[in-house]
Amino acid sequence: MSSLWFFHRPGSVAIIGASNDPEKIGGRPIRYMREFGFEGVIYPINPNRVRIQGITAYPSLDDLPSLPDVAIIAVSGANAVAQIVRCADLGVKGCIVMSSGFGETGDEQGLAWQNEMLAAAARTGMRIVGPNSQGLANFATGAVLGFSTLFTEEPPQDGPVAIVSQSGALCSVPYGLLRQAGIGVRYAHGTGNDIDVTAAELAAEILEDPDISLLLLYLEDFRDLDSIARVATKALERGVPVIALKGGRSEAGQRAAASHTGALATEEKVVDAFLEKYGIWRARSTHDLVSAVGLYLRPTVPKGERLAIVSNSGAICVLAADAAQDNDLPLSQLSEQSQVDLAAVLPSFASLDNPIDVTAALLTDSSLFGRVLPVLGRDESVDACFLGIPVSGRGYDVERFARDVADFEASAGVPLVMAVPQNDIAERFRAHGTVVYADEWQAVRALSQYLHHHALIARARHRTLGRPRIRRVCGTERVVLNESESLGIIDRLGVPTVEHVLVTHPDGAPAAVEALGDGPVVIKGCSSEMTHKSELGLVRVGVREADATRVVEEMFDLMARAGIANEGVIVARMVKGVHEGMLGARVDPVFGPVVVIGSGGVHVEAMPDVQFLLPPYSIDDALRAISRLRIAAVLGGTRGEPPVDIEAWARAAVNLGDALLDDKLEIHELDVNPLMLLAKHGDVQPAIRAVDAVVIRGSLKS
């Protein structure tokens, strides 16, 4: 048994603050356990009653005939703390604190009570879920240790889906939506403040259950990063997809998350990078969290993302193709043999290309779907199918359609979704196990998530994952290096830099220009006390040798008047790229080393076009990040511009990521902007050059 087994399979449960009213918070766990088949012992605790809901009640924990595995705390404030302390002293394995008014309020008294609870549990090894928890539910064992109203509104049915949420509402709502869709849910956990046991810990425990085939998460913070990574790794090993919804994406959402759970907001693109690396799909809404669940529970596993579209309506074919483009699903290019086979099946006036309009002939020939779909199932270019039936009913052999579709799904192994707006017709298909949506947009959107997620999972399986390498800054001292020092470090880390000379006296300027060869140069002030030189007039472009001494003297004068420490002047070869990129890095307080790759230049903050990567990562990962940039469309050459060396850019990003994992380098932050992206000329040398850099050092620990 794993360390948290008692929360899912307790032999006995005490309810402190038990109520005889089955609709009250202290009464619902008793009602639910009795109704949903819990076979363990229930101990209601209430000093004012002899029996509660037909069960013998006890005045206190000390009066119980045996020690419970789990205690549900349904009393508030100081009384809740006292009960937690007593549970710990007696040796109870775990407590679920349903009462609120603790750390989530931000109130000093609430925080003090919460810390007292945690200290008592830590003293004896007892585990706490909550406070402010809706409770935990395992419908396989009937251990429904919570109070959600949805369990009465939408009666439970055991199934292959698990929901773990830091919010009670975001546990109940997905549960209700899935049950309305006829999908069974085994676990429904609303954890609350997570002062001890975290949502991720419980999710990892759930993945020990071999009957779980899909995990849904709602998270408002990533404090327990190790457990989230462990969940993802275990899910990849078992082949269980994980879909996560994270609250707090907007500034207002971050404020709400902080007031609700004390969660610390994290940079959203870093969250995206972490989830992608570990094969977790990030939903953007509650609808996204549950909309594709039916597809995930089908036995088919997609081999790609190319879509074939079939309908008896030309308009639906067009709209489904539009939806496929909007959701980044390429259409299958049907083979010549498939077109020959379709010609033998379809009316002479029907299109043989994808999308396939079987036309109104379906009304007189009910076999069309049953003959078209197998052709698509045999075509190697078809990874998934969409089938739209906008109008059906009287005159149509709907039952035959449903059987033919079900037979295709069972034999072809190709994922299929349908769009059927008539609910009574849709139910006929659902009765055969087919996943049906009301319109083509919903269907294609859900299919897109399902296909893209499996591609994400496949990439994650090829990575070395394990525990994330979290490196944190020790202390507050940070040392900003000047540009010359920074460029030197960047070059040693494997990012090619511009040729340059550091000049400490105006007399050295002509020799520096001469050493760099013919042509004008760039002259820049160099000081660790500034990072934005152009705003101070400390960057001159196109300087000739004859003017170099004068320009250096002016630079020295400007730094003196600005009160900036003079650490010299950089004289650098002029490099003009086809485009400007950037590389950056920092040690995130939650995720550790993070690398950013994107479009560079002076507008990088005003119009960010960046992607984040968490090292270690491969060159393919870096290339994929570059391909997602808005600037990616022009990197291959356009309107007479040559292609740039994106492979060198990606390789530099990998070098930088690897270097960040070395504690000895003590790099806290790093910025290379601009990184000149030059025209690619064979494989002689990397066609990129860092022309400006800032490195900030700080003591780090893993």
Q: With contact defined as beta carbons under 8 Å apart, do 183 and 294 qualify?
A: yes
> Is 16 within a domain?
yes
106 with 211, same domain: the answer is no
Q: What is the pLDDT of residue 255?
A: 47
Residue type, 634: V
514 with 609, same domain: the answer is no
Q: What's 330's DSSP letter?
A: P
User: Which of 439, 461, 483 is the last residue in one of the domains?
Assistant: 461
What are the backbone dihedrals phi and psi of residue 648, each rounded to the nearest 5 degrees, phi first? -65, -40
- Tell me the residue range of the domain where 314 lies: 298-461
| Per-residue pLDDT at 537 exceeds 90 | no
554 with 616, same domain: the answer is no
Mean pLDDT taken over the chain: 91
Pair of tokens at residue 82: 């006292």
pLDDT level of residue 699 (50, 70, 90 thresholds): low
> Is 466 within a domain?
no
pLDDT level of residue 296 (50, 70, 90 thresholds): very high
331 with 441, same domain: the answer is yes
What are the backbone dihedrals phi and psi of residue 696, each rounded to the nearest 5 degrees, phi first? -115, 125
554 with 624, same domain: the answer is no
> Is 344 within a domain?
yes
Residue type, 220: E
| Per-residue pLDDT at 254 exceeds 60 | no
The total of structural domains in the chain comes to 5
| Per-residue pLDDT at 473 exceeds 60 | no
222 with 362, same domain: the answer is no
> Is 94 within a domain?
yes
Residues in the chain: 702
Q: What is the CATH number of the domain that holds 561?
A: 3.30.1490.20
Q: What is the mean pLDDT of residues 227-253?
A: 86
Q: With contact defined as beta carbons under 8 Å apart, do 406 and 432 qualify?
A: yes
326 with 451, same domain: the answer is yes
Pair of tokens at residue 485: 């020092």
User: Which of 461, 493, 519 is the last residue in one of the domains?
Assistant: 461
What CA–CA distance (Å, rounded) separates 131 from 695? 43
What CA–CA distance (Å, rounded) separates 305 from 162? 26
User: Which of 233, 267, 296 is the last residue in one of the domains?
Assistant: 296
| Per-residue pLDDT at 262 exceeds 70 | no
Residue-wise over 650-674: b if at least 16 C-beta within 10 A, else e?
bbbbbbbbbbbeeeebbbbbbbbbb
DSSP string computed for 493-539: TT--B--EEEESSGGGHHHHHHHT-SS-EEEEE--TT-S--GGGT-E
306 with 450, same domain: the answer is yes
Q: What is the mean pLDDT of residues 566-575?
A: 92
| Distances, alpha carbon 65 to alpha carbons 10, 42, 61, in Å | 16, 11, 9
Largest CA distance in the chain: 101
> Is 477 within a domain?
no
What CA–CA distance (Å, rounded) separates 63 from 639? 84
305 with 266, same domain: the answer is no
Q: With contact defined as beta carbons under 8 Å apart, do 379 and 338 qualify?
A: yes
pLDDT level of residue 10 (50, 70, 90 thresholds): very high
Q: What is the pLDDT of residue 602?
A: 79
What CA–CA distance (Å, rounded) separates 574 from 499? 9
277 with 342, same domain: the answer is no
What are the tens digits of pLDDT across the range 91-144?
Answer: 999 999 999 999 888 889 999 999 999 999 999 999 999 999 999 999 999 999
Residue type, 291: S
449 with 528, same domain: the answer is no
CA 31 to chain centre: 37
292 with 316, same domain: the answer is no
Q: What is the pLDDT of residue 474?
A: 59
Q: What is the mean pLDDT of residues 495-519?
A: 91
Q: What is the pLDDT of residue 534?
A: 75
Q: What is the mean pLDDT of residues 31-42?
A: 97
What CA–CA distance (Å, rounded) separates 127 from 92? 9
Q: What is the CATH number of the domain that holds 276?
A: 3.40.50.261
